[in-house]
Structures are given as structure tokens and as C-alpha cells.
Chain A
């Protein structure tokens, strides 16, 4: 961490978005994480994505659990709602918040410990319930806050800083999420914002459960040469399955002559997402081909990145259980409390 507050001065020509805000208006306090932490890059990517989306900060709820990653919600969107929950319990808190107020944008930030260890059960149910949120897992394969033990996402091939092997197989969060019915599953690398920012924007726009598993190197405990989650390893083994271009609502899509196939997907807000596969044999909309492919990449030690899976149905929990159409705090009092006659009728129906 740094000892000074970040100076208020900003570049006089800093661009403004459509709501008159600069990138810096989406910042939070200065990070207290280790210098060079991948999580700070993810924070910067979130700031960039929210700036580009022109999100009003007060319509966002940032949710987190416990861990280095979960601290980062303090480092962006200073003027948003937020909840820093008990370890691993962010999904259920978000579920409650989302059921009460479906009008907010839910952005969860968690880590590999918070998601794949203590919170795995919570994570699994949020996925299968298709909770409308973007769940970012800042995945560094290590418990940084408790001095560098293996986490559940650490690969078998990856040794710890002292050269010890990991005895267990790793949990691949993307595979788990696809299996459990997530609608939008992506993997990214904190060191590549060009890929990460469009994924965050798409994930925030996606209606349903969106997961981005961001490989985010821990510079202190897991950035050595025998780690598979180091800056160098991920750069050397990054296998991008597809590119994602976001097209604003009004603009017509012009297909670019990229290799592979380009698919256009309409997002819930009407904007378009152009998916171009880097290799023709990977179709992110088909789980039957995607999952074996992902398993193959993993076996080869490659880090598959990009949008790995997309369910175009875009249904969320509210659709599935038929809740009230708006946020509960906007339901008029007379509807919330329809009176004794209505109660009488309900009771009568149960007699």
C-alpha cells in the first residue's frame, strides 16, 4: 500500500462519458494490496467497463466475501451500494438483495478461496438459480491473505513458492459453472485488459448468472517459475478461444474478416455482442462441444480464455420463479398490504 492519498489532480484532457463522468469518477480508495497484484488490474478493468457503460454508480451493488479479492470492492465505485459479507456467503446475500431489488446491477467480486473452498456450496446454488449478477472470481490459486497455502483452484502441476507439490486436483470454476447451468462463462487474464474489459461489460449486461474467472497473479506468493498462475505462465500458455466485440445498440454490425466464425448475440438491453471464434472448432453456444474442448485445453496445460460458454436464453431467477415485476421498494403500500379482505380470501383458499 502507499502512504499518501492519491492526488486529486487529474489529466486536464481526461475524456468524459455520456453522463459527464471521467474514468476517475469511478474510482474508490487507493488499494492496500501488494504492489503488482493482479486484482488491482481487475479493479482498473471494472472501472474502465463501468466508465464505458456510463453506469450511474448509485444503481450498482458491489458484493463481496472475504479475502484479498473481496477487499477490492472498496477500490472502485466509491458511490455505489455494497455489502462485504461473511466468508463465502456473498452469493446468498446477493440472492437476497437481488430478490428485494431487481433494479440494481449486481457485481460480485470473490476469490478462489471464497468461491471454490468455503463458498463452493453457495456458489453452486447461485449458479443453478441463474441469479442475475456478474460474478468475478479473482483467481490466483493461493491463499495470499494467510501467507500462500494452495487453494482449491491450484493446478496439480503447479508447485508452491518453496517447491512443494499440490496433492489434490484443482477445481475448474468455469467447468463447474457450465455444468451447473450458468448462462455466461468466461475466463480472462488480469494482464490483458483489452480482453477483460469487453467481457466485464458483456457480463454486466447479461441477464442471468455470468461468471468471469480471472486468472489474477499473486505477486507475493504465486508468481514464481513453477506456478501455473504467474504472469509469465499465463502469457505463455494463453489460448484465446474467441474474441468479443461489443456493438452499441444503434450501430449496424459489420462483420470483420477475422478467422473463424462471427456470431451476433443481442443482449438484454438491446445492444449487440459480436463473438468471433479464433478457431472454427470451438462453439461457445454449444455445451456439448465446449466442455470436452475445455477439458482438453486443461490437459494440455493451456489456459483457455475468452467467452467459453453462452446460453442465449438469458433467463434469470425472477423469470424462473415469477416474482413481482419491479423492486419491492417501489411496490405501493396498498399492494404490499392489500387489507384484511385479501387475507381472508387467502386463508379461505387453504381451508
Chain B
């Protein structure tokens, strides 16, 4: 294999699995370390810069970082990254003075953002410091989009939402709430320099072809519409017996909301096997903890009505068969299951829809009525019109919308300044030795070997009857410290300098996870198989040195490295060094000072 090129920032970035997996590339280990130090404000600001909604995401993120966490590969469970983010938000001090300065003198460019969800709010946050005149248009009376309408307040308190949305609006965004957009042409005619469409995926899918659907319409509700009605207090009760159809996170929110609106029995039914459910594991756990049964392999067959009222739902039992990796659901022939109920909540998916975009504006749509959006620039086929969030490619989650917003903001800025949209700014990276003394590092390598901490929950007797009582209480300061100490510091890179190595083997001998090898070079497959412990996880790179004096090379399998620094401590010549790799994804505008240690935030 060739010598690893560590000057390419993506090499070390990839080692930081959590940050690499995060769509917004939040520097996770950096803020976890700050939480361990009790520097919650700094930890909050790192999050706020990257993902804009630390308090919201600390409760609701889909956490792509956690399945990626290296800790999950050396023991059972990953670090509770998401819940630590919440700790930073819950315990932070005053941050008003740390917010970017908004120029009083605007730059003369006007940008319209349609839809006030996380994507549009991110664009607003990134563009306001540059002096753009930003107008936010939303049909609902308040901002937040799905975060307000579809996430129940027992998971995300309204106060947290209001604060994080308000922080952006307070930059001086012009808001036009309660304005239903019926024509994109009308918006374009207002003469904006750029328009960003962040209208989400607001249309719930239906099961129109199931017999009895029309007759039972009065008692069948689309899940996301139901949640929105509850959020805006248009709906305050539901029948005693409720069936929720669907296996995604919306279904989990629907069933738990129904319980709190007074339902006595709530049943979730899913067509597919449980393993294929789309809901996050922890959301399924939360629903089941509240006593809600989840019946898998139940496909709705008929809605039964009596005297014009819904009486029951009939389900056909299914089983899954996998042919060439494709799943087919096949009826088992077992007797149908009849579940009597008063109301049905349908959460079988959602999609974006653009009846309000005229098709003659130069915005191309494909055969499924989806807009053609460039994956990198987020611009549609009409220059100056951008899409992001669920509006671009269908339902994802908040953190993806934020990532889209950052990129769209960069594109909008480039577009408004008449610059090439492909000329995108590189990420800001930094690699600094952590050596303090002979065996002292400026990071804490003495990690905890305890299992993942569980987040305490509110008393279910109270929580199940109160729509706005937050179920998860969050970690307290001690639990947060315990959990933070589980982080392996994967951003502290093991950096190897070939010409300092005397091949004494000390690093190889001390490595607790046998990831360092000195061996004859070979092609990658051969090299992977021949290591002390074969490197079977091909998603993780090998770090290969140049030729050493004996003709061998150093090969490190990055897979389960603990970043404990013992290799560097046992190295007599300093060929190994522990260096902190900090990568900040480029934003349209600088948000916070580059290095919090160089420019400390004012103490509270």
C-alpha cells in the first residue's frame, strides 16, 4: 500500500467517526470534552455553530453519530452523544454576547425563505451576519416547522423550541407568519435576489385503497396533521381506543400523544417485521415503556364502520420474504386480526408537494413531481431558486435539514455575489500536538470503562397524562461527566513520523487493542489479513507509513483505536504524537471565534 496521505483532511476526519457521520459535521469529541470540563457554554457554542439547534437536537436528533461511535465497536453501547448535547444546552450560561454581530448596514441583497423549518432557519442564521435582508414566509402562526408541528411537546418543550427559533429571528429576520404561499411566481415577482424553498415534506400519505377508508373518514386522521393540530391546540381529545398504523417515528409520536389525550388503549400496527421498522430504536423503546403494544406483520385490510362510525380495523397477517435483497410481504393465511377502535391515526409516510410552484418558471421536476436539485449547491434548474431540507429530496430529519441549510446559504451567498457556485470554501482544519510533558497530555486519556448511562425519566404516572410534561429529564451534571468520560477522544489523532521511528516495537507491545503492526508491506487485502488482529472492518482505513530502516512499514488499523496515547507515551523518539484534529465545516459567514481556548468566552 502507498504511504497514507494525512495531509488530506478527510483522512483524520474519517477517524472521528461521530463527526464524519454527522451531516453537519459537528465536532463531537471537542464539545464532549468541554462538557467534562464543565464548560457548558463553550460546548453549546460549538454545537450552535455546527447544528444551530443544540437544545432541540439534544432531545430529538436521529443521532447518526451514535451508531458510528467507535465505543460501540469495543463494548456494547456508544456514547450518549445526543443526550450530552442536551446537557450543554441545559447548563449553558448567557450566550447573547457570543452571538455574531448583525451589520446595521445591509448589503443590499434580499433573500426570501419559504417555510420556517430548520432548513430555512439555518439559512437565515448563516446569512444574517453577512448583512443580507432575509424574509421568512410561513403559513403557520409561528416558526419551527416540523419541530413545532410534528414533535410533541413531551419530547421537545415549547420553551426550548421558542428560544432556539427566536434566537435566529431576533437577528432581524423579517417574518411573514400566517401567510399561505399559493404561488412561487408571486414571491419571485417581489424581486428577491434569491429564494430558498424549505417547505419540508408536509403531505401525509394515505391508505386510500383500503376498503372502508372513505366511510370511516371522520375517525381516520393523518398522523402529521393530527400532531400539528395537537401542537396548535386545535385537537384536545381522542377516542378511548386508538389504532396507530405505521412504524416510523411519527407513529411513535402519534401513539404517545394519543395516550396523553386520554386514550385508554393504544395499539401500534406495522405491516413489516419489527426489524424493518423505520422508527429509531429508542423511540420504539419509549413507546413500549409507556405500555403501548406494537404489533408487527399486520397489514390493514379493511376499515369496518357501523352507523357511519368507525368500529374496527381488520388486519391481515403478513410475513416477509427476501428475494435478491428485496423484501416482499406475503399474507401468511392466518386468520385476520380485528382490532376494535374509535379512532385511527395513519402514519405511513409523508412526502413533499409543490402544488404552489408553477411549472413554467424554469424549475424542472421529475416524473414523481420532485424538483431537480443539485446535490452540492442545492440550486434548482432556475438560477437563484434553492431547495433544502425535506423539500429537496423527501423526508429526512432535522440534522440533515441543518446541513442542507449551511450549504444552501453558501450557495446563496456565492450566487448573490455573482461568484461560481462550485467555488466552495474548504473546511477549517487544525492539527495540534497535545503533548504537555513526558507523559502528560492536554486531553484526558484516562477514559471510563463503565457502561452507557441511562437518562432518567419523569414519573410515568404523571407524564402519561400531561401533554407538555417532558418525559426525559436529561443527565444531571455528575451523570454528564460520567458519560463524557466514556468518549474515546477520537479527534486526538495518533500521528506517526516515519523517520523518527527506531522500530523498538514499544508501541505495538503496549497497544491495548493490538492495532499497531510492523510488517512487510503488501497490497491492502493481504495486509489486512496479515495483521496481528486481521482488519476485517473495511469501512475503517489502514494508516500505513513509508518504508522504515528494516524494510518494514508501520500499519495501524484505525478500527478500534482507543486514542489512549499509550503508543506515544511508550515511544522513545516521539515518532508517535497525539494531535488534536479540529475540523469545522465551512459556513457562509464566520459564526464564532476559531479556537475557544485562544479566545475564551467571558465567564458568567
Contacts and interface: CB of A to CB of B under 8 A. Distances in A.
B187 interface: no
Interface in B440-464: 440, 445-447, 449
A38 B564 contact: no
A190 B445 CA distance: 29
B74 interface: yes
B398 interface: no
Nearest to A236: B549
24 contacts: A2-B566, A3-B439, A4-B445, A6-B510, A6-B512, A6-B566, A7-B512, A9-B75, A9-B562, A11-B533, A14-B514, A14-B533, A31-B510, A34-B572, A35-B572, A36-B572, A40-B506, A41-B506, A41-B509, A44-B508, A193-B505, A217-B504, A219-B504, A231-B503
A193 B572 CA distance: 19
A8 interface: yes
A235 B503 CA distance: 10
A229 to B, nearest CB: 13
Of A5, A7, A14, A232, the most chain B CB neighbours within 10 A belong to: A7
A14 B509 CA distance: 14
B504 A43 contact: no
A44 B549 contact: no
B533 A9 contact: no
Contacts, number: 102
A115 to B, nearest CB: 22
Interface in A181-221: 190-191, 193, 217, 219
Interface string A1-32: 11111111111111100000001100000110
Contacts of A217: 504
Contacts of A232: 502, 549
Interface string B175-206: 00000000000000000000000000000000
Contacts of A41: 504-506, 509
B504 A15 contact: no
A44 B509 contact: yes
A37 interface: yes
Contacts of B550: 235
Nearest to A4: B446
A73 to B, nearest CB: 16
Contacts of B509: 40-41, 43-44
B515 interface: yes
B241 interface: no
A7 B447 contact: yes
Contacts of B569: 2, 35
Q: Which of A1, A9, A193 has the most CB of B within 10 A?
A: A9
Contacts of A4: 445-446, 564, 566
Interface in B500-548: 502-506, 508-510, 512-515, 533-534, 536
Scoring A15, A23, A35, A217 by chain B CB atoms within 10 A of each residue's CB, the highest score goes to A35
Contacts of B515: 11
B73 interface: yes
A191 B506 contact: no
A231 B502 CA distance: 7
B220 interface: no
B580 interface: no
Interface string B109-131: 00000000000000000000000
B61 to A, nearest CB: 27
Contacts of A37: 504, 506, 572
B80 interface: no
Interface residues of A, number: 37
B172 to A, nearest CB: 50
B244 interface: no
B304 interface: no
Contacts of B566: 2, 4, 6
Contact of A8 (B449, B502, B503, B505): B449
A35 B562 contact: no
A344 to B, nearest CB: 61
Nearest to B505: A41
A219 B446 CA distance: 27
Given A5-B446, A35-B572, A190-B504, 5 more contacts: A3-B446, A7-B564, A31-B510, A34-B572, A40-B506
A221 to B, nearest CB: 12
Interface in B463-511: 502-506, 508-510
Nearest to B535: A13
B294 interface: no
B494 to A, nearest CB: 14
Nearest to A1: B439
Residue among B445, B449, B572 facing the most chain A CB atoms (10 A cut-off): B572
B504 A11 contact: no
Most chain A Cβ neighbours within 10 Å, of B449, B510, B573: B510
B505 A12 contact: no
Nearest to B534: A13
Interface in B554-584: 560, 562, 564, 566, 569-573
Nearest to A3: B439
Most buried by A among B74, B504, B562, B573: B504
A9 B449 contact: yes
B491 to A, nearest CB: 18
Nearest to B575: A36
A3 B568 CA distance: 12
A31 B509 CA distance: 11
B506 A11 contact: no
Contact of B505 (A15, A191, A223): A191
A235 B508 CA distance: 19
Contact of B570 (A2, A14, A23, A193): A2
A256 B569 CA distance: 42
A136 B571 CA distance: 24
A172 to B, nearest CB: 24
A233 B127 CA distance: 64
Contacts of A8: 449, 512
Contacts of A190: 504-505
A303 to B, nearest CB: 15
Interface in B396-455: 439-440, 445-447, 449
A68 B449 CA distance: 31
Given A2-B569, A35-B571, A11 B439 contact: no
A163 B135 CA distance: 79
Nearest to A44: B509
Given A6-B512, A9-B74, A36 B502 contact: yes
Contact of A13 (B446, B533, B571, B572): B533
Given A1-B439, A3-B439, A191-B505, A9 B512 contact: yes
Contacts of A9: 74-75, 449, 512-513, 560, 562
Nearest 7 pairs of A and B residues by beta carbon: A36-B572, A44-B509, A4-B446, A36-B504, A219-B572, A11-B513, A2-B569
A35 B509 CA distance: 11
Which among A12, A190, A193 has the greatest number of chain B C-beta atoms within 10 A? A12
Contacts of B505: 40-41, 44, 190-191, 193
Contacts of B513: 9-11
Residue from the set B508, B533, B571 with the largest chain A CB neighbour count within 10 Å: B533
Contacts of A191: 503-505
Contacts of B504: 36-38, 41, 190-191, 217, 219, 231
Contacts of B564: 4, 6-7
Contacts of B533: 11, 13-15
A36 B560 contact: no
Nearest to A75: B509
Contacts of B445: 4
B74 A36 contact: no
Contacts of B560: 9, 11-12
Given A7-B447, A9-B562, A235-B549, A2 B439 contact: yes
Contacts of B74: 9, 11-12
Contacts of B573: 36
Given A34-B572, A36-B571, A7 B562 contact: yes
B440 A36 contact: no
